[in-house]
A and B are shown apart, each in its own frame.
Chain A
């Protein structure tokens, strides 16, 4: 059971998808707050707690990351690779949420340590259903790993 105060970090550059995702989160009654970053670099910045994200009180470490692959500046794969190389962050559960069903993308994501891979459905109801499933599995059922807080 995940600490309900800890946010879910949504890494998504498409504002439409952000809107639909936030709507789905709301419809699925996900209690955790959502933090959205628009590209790979921002995601790394947030997770590393650097730059504008130094204040961990305002930007607490997420309990789960929803990661798009097709991102500006730094791709989702690169973010994943970086994350898994960070001794203090590498256990963070990462769910790839992308529109690509390309075999190569799926395999590479898992190779780099993704915990799950979800293809964005077109139907808004299907997305709500999917987020609901994420909430019940990853937030409620799944036993999260220990991730050391890096306050400084």
Chain B
């Protein structure tokens, strides 16, 4: 409009007026101000919308800053300046233009308050949707293509927002969910809003469940403009729901598995839930039925459980008869627990029930059988009482009254220690306690002195009776009187035990070799075996008449030191022991208080509680060694039977003592003998040493003068032959040869004695080597005699001593060579015969032979059968042979006949083959 040429014609004027009426009609304020801002025109809308303009004039907020705009509009490029101007709580869009022709400013204002607010809200919602955690998507209804989507929607599908735009919504769905999309869209249009779950698919192909809340937006004609949907990934919610479901399933499974019936009722006592056991009991249609529907007979069940529903109790127990689905009447035991909601209001109750019909029946039967049991007890001859947990008697049977002769009131409600003296109840109360403590049956036998009933032999049995929890409810005490039977049995048992004691003691006596131990054992066996108070043994000696205590057992308490007993005819010898020793038979004093012979010891015996006594002599072969004395606490204890057994025992002990003494004597003798042997040995050793010294002396001192005699006489013969003459020479020769013979004799004797002493080390030796050495020794003789020696080689081996064998063989060969008639050539044969265990080495000659009567003699020292003149030799050679053979564990001998030669032999042990 600005800059339009003005028209000045009439029609122009009319036109102007017509145009000028436009601002009048404008619904928005139109104002004209002067350059100073003073209002020069305002249309009617201004006055309607801005009533205070007249009053405020150029100060009206709508006109704020308008005059300042004149310069900008007058010289600037813009035709108008459009701004938002706040007026009070409203906002106007103000346009200002300048009309240079009249130097006026024109102001147009539009109230944009509502539009602005809508714009802000839209912006806010856009912001919210943009940043929302859930997906928001706007879809074109005809093509299903995405018009808009927030980042969350894109992200949950794995796309960028830009990728999302224009995409078909069906592409965000898993194939199985795509088919449902038209139906969901239709429902959204029909209902305006529709919520559904579907499976979506991501760009990478993975799937997720999503909850979609879709609204359809339509125009006034009902044309669908677009559909907007909130989409939520419900993977986690599904998982949580799944785990909750599985938890419930588990509880259901557990409840189904328990054998107890589990039922839930609501506040009206209508069953709303049942486990398997519940369905099985009440039937499949139980849920929905009221609890009372199943009651059998008159019930106080409701009254009992009512406090539960009033909130007064948490748990209630009730037993109630109920009808099972098969019509049977069963007793159920219920435990009911109240159920409350979050506000504490009672919503119902959860109850578990167990069928206790059988249990009840058993219990009732038990009561019945207990009744029968008690009736039976009434007729039992044994004393029967029943103790409660306080050990008080709550029942006694008829026998109790009859046996004790006391009324029922003496027992019922009392403990035993209130009824009986300690020496009675002390015997069996421990057993009663044991029965309570161990829940096991206790039994004991005791001999009790019951007041007014005398001494009775009783067997008391305590039987614990257990309640349902396995605790001892009461103990049944049964007392059986077997006094009469016991007496007979005791006698038998005593006999058996006595025999056992006798047997055992006799066996022990045989093992013992010590007199004291035997006597100790005797006393101990008598006391312990026969339940006696004391026993001792006294021995007698040759030098006095006293009975000397040697052993004791039992309660002696200085008794033996305080009394003196003898076996002479004095008062101290007139008691049982003195008489027993004198007579050699057992003597008894069966009542020491009354026995007149027991005067000297009565006081001491009484002090120690000895009431009777028996003395049995220890006798062996009619000799009394002493006496065994036994004491009993009861008078009359030593009857014939017991005394006989003790006598048997004492006899066995006496024999054992006798044996021990004999053995001791033998041992002493052996000791003396041993000492003598040792003495002899010492003497022998001394003699041996002396003999050795003697042999040395003989060998040296005795031979020295002989050697001188021989040596000097030969020197005489050599140096002074002429002066001596023939006879003188002969004498000198005789002196020399006598000395030489004596020297030989001495040497042989020494050899013989040496053989007797030497310890020979025996081992396998080669007889061939022995022969070799022996031949060397006799070589001179062989040469001299011209003997013909023949050996049956090889000679083999034997056990012996080489040097000794050489000597033996040399002796035998030289004998064989020597003892031959002067004209004969000696023929010597040497050989061996082998026996099973021995080897016989023999030397055969063709000599003079030996008469059989001399066979033994030739081996003795100094035995010569021939004169010195005829045959040489000392007569010791064969003795050496024999002794040597014997020293080697063999022997020597000869086979011969006069004139037919001899065969001398030595026999030696054979070498054992490994």
Contacts and interface: CB of A to CB of B under 8 A. Distances in A.
Interface of A: 14, 16-17, 19-20, 23, 70, 98-102, 120, 122-125, 127
B209 to A, nearest CB: 123
A99 B705 contact: no
Interface in B694-737: 696, 699-701, 703-708, 710-712, 714-715, 718
A71 to B, nearest CB: 11
Which 7 A-B pairs give the minimum distances between C-beta atoms? A16-B708, A124-B714, A20-B711, A124-B711, A122-B707, A70-B700, A124-B715
12 contacts: A16-B711, A20-B711, A20-B712, A23-B715, A70-B701, A99-B707, A101-B699, A102-B696, A120-B707, A122-B711, A123-B711, A124-B718
Contacts of B740: 122
A64 to B, nearest CB: 22
B474 interface: no
B584 to A, nearest CB: 71
Given A70-B701, A99-B703, 7 more contacts: A99-B704, A122-B739, A122-B743, A123-B711, A123-B714, A124-B715, A125-B714
B707 A100 contact: no
A123 B711 CA distance: 6
Interface string B38-53: 0000000000000000
B715 A100 contact: no
A102 B697 CA distance: 11
A17 B714 contact: no
B699 A102 contact: yes
A102 B696 CA distance: 8
Contact of B704 (A17, A101, A123): A17
A5 B715 CA distance: 28
Contacts of A98: 700
Given A99-B700, A99-B703, A20 B718 contact: no
B705 to A, nearest CB: 7
A16 B710 CA distance: 11
A96 to B, nearest CB: 13
A120 B743 CA distance: 13
B712 A16 contact: yes
A76 B706 CA distance: 22
Nearest to B718: A124
Contacts of B700: 70, 98-100
Contacts of B708: 14, 16-17, 20
Nearest to A15: B708
Contacts of A123: 710-711, 714
A98 B740 CA distance: 18
Interface in B302-332: none
B698 to A, nearest CB: 11
Given A14-B704, A16-B705, A99-B704, A127 B711 contact: yes
Contacts of B710: 122-124
A122 B706 CA distance: 8
A101 B699 CA distance: 9
A16 B743 CA distance: 16
Contacts of A120: 707
Interface residues on B, range: 10 to 19
B294 to A, nearest CB: 130
Contacts of B706: 122
Contacts of B707: 16-17, 99, 120, 122
Contacts of A102: 696, 699
Contacts of B703: 99
Nearest to A70: B700
Contacts of B718: 124
Interface in B161-200: none
Nearest to A123: B714
Contacts of B714: 123-125
Contacts of A23: 715
Q: Max chain B CB contacts within 10 Å: which of A20, A23, A122?
A: A122
Nearest to B696: A102
Contacts of A99: 699-700, 703-704, 707
B712 A19 contact: yes
Which one of B699, B707, B740 has the highest number of Cβ atoms from chain A below 10 Å of its Cβ?
B707
A85 to B, nearest CB: 26
Contacts of A125: 714
B298 to A, nearest CB: 135
Nearest to B710: A122
Nearest to B706: A122
Contacts of A127: 711
A70 B698 CA distance: 12
B73 to A, nearest CB: 162
A127 B715 CA distance: 11
Nearest to A127: B711
A4 B583 CA distance: 109
Contacts of B711: 16, 20, 122-124, 127
Interface string B8-24: 00000000000000000
A23 B699 CA distance: 24
A126 to B, nearest CB: 9
Contacts of A122: 706-707, 710-711, 739-740, 743
A67 to B, nearest CB: 14
A141 B711 CA distance: 29
A17 B701 CA distance: 12
A39 B714 CA distance: 27
A106 to B, nearest CB: 13
Contacts of A20: 708, 711-712, 715
A135 to B, nearest CB: 19
A24 to B, nearest CB: 9
Contacts of A16: 704-705, 707-708, 711-712
A104 to B, nearest CB: 9
Contacts of B699: 99-102
Interface in B532-586: none
A16 B712 CA distance: 8
Nearest to B701: A70
A135 B715 CA distance: 20
B496 to A, nearest CB: 79
B276 to A, nearest CB: 118
Contacts of A19: 712
Contacts of B712: 16, 19-20, 124
Nearest to A104: B696
Nearest to B739: A122
B719 to A, nearest CB: 8
A125 B700 CA distance: 20
A12 to B, nearest CB: 11
A29 to B, nearest CB: 16
A120 B708 CA distance: 11
Interface in B734-782: 739-740, 743
Contacts of A100: 696, 699-700
Nearest to B717: A124
Most chain A CB neighbours (cut-off 10 Å) among B711, B712, B718: B711
A36 B78 CA distance: 182
A124 B718 CA distance: 10
Contacts of A124: 710-712, 714-715, 718
A100 B701 CA distance: 10
A39 to B, nearest CB: 15
A99 B714 CA distance: 18
Contacts of B696: 100, 102
A77 to B, nearest CB: 13
A95 B705 CA distance: 22
B467 to A, nearest CB: 107
A101 B707 CA distance: 14
A16 B739 CA distance: 14
Contacts of A17: 704, 707-708
A3 to B, nearest CB: 30
A98 B701 CA distance: 11
B751 to A, nearest CB: 11
Contacts of B743: 122
